[in-house]
Amino acid sequence: MADDAHHPPTRRRDAQDNRDRLIAAAREVFAESGFDVPLDAIARRAGVGRATLYRNFSDRYALGSAIFASNVAALEALAAAHAGRPDAFTTLLSAIIEQQIASHALVPALLTGPGAPDLHALARRMTRLLAGPLRQAQAAAAIRRDLAPSDVLSVIAMVSAAVVGAPTLAARRRRATRALQLVLDGLVPRV
């Protein structure tokens, strides 16, 4: 299924539009109301019927995995757009944290749900995605030389933990922004 997330099957244009709207709606509704929100709310937000939702996603875990696959694809596009730039690493890290703010309700549920193997494949893609920009930032002396791509996943987890319990998207964003700034201060080499 991880390959499907990277190379989706060809769909009719209207079917792909419906799927994209469902993913966008789920991202918003899960961020606002949590992972246990009724799936009907997502279908309504997307402007489609329940049958369309279930034709595309067998359950909320499949929908959550699709959100993460979409997030990683967006990060890959961002990485390509910033290739060769010394700020690519911090740009990607900030984008990842922004995704975590919006997807905070998904992480705990998906790690224990049936979609977990797909998330591990996505984590491997993200590690590969960060490796080149991290090396470039290290070569430019913008980031500590001893930081490994696997360390970056720990940094993301630490910043993501800062948003737990925040009641609103704005509060999560404030907490994550502050936590990321503190972490970045530790990642920049001392002169």
> What pTM, to 2 d.p., does this model score?
0.78
Alpha-carbon distance 80 to 76, whole Å?
6
Report the percent of the chain where pLDDT is more than 70: 87
Q: What is the pLDDT of residues 86-128, one digit of tens each?
A: 899 999 999 988 888 887 777 666 666 665 556 677 778 888 8
Q: What is the pLDDT of residues 128-169, one digit of tens each?
A: 889 999 999 999 988 889 988 888 888 888 888 888 788 888
Q: Which residues contact 162 (CB under 8 A, 6 or more apart)?
A: 175, 176, 178, 179
Q: What is the pLDDT of residues 12-32, one digit of tens each?
A: 888 899 999 999 999 999 888
CA atoms within 13 A on the CB side of 83: 5
Q: Which residues contact 40 (CB under 8 A, 6 or more apart)?
A: 50
Cβ atoms within 10 Å, residue 96:
24
* Residue 56 falls in which region: left (phi positive, over 0), alpha (psi -120 to 50) or beta: alpha
Alpha-carbon distance 175 to 187, whole Å?
18
Residue-level pLDDT at 68: 83
Stated as kind and residue range, the H or E segment containing 111 is helix 106-112
Q: How far is CA 27 from the centre of its chain?
A: 10
Length of the chain equals 191
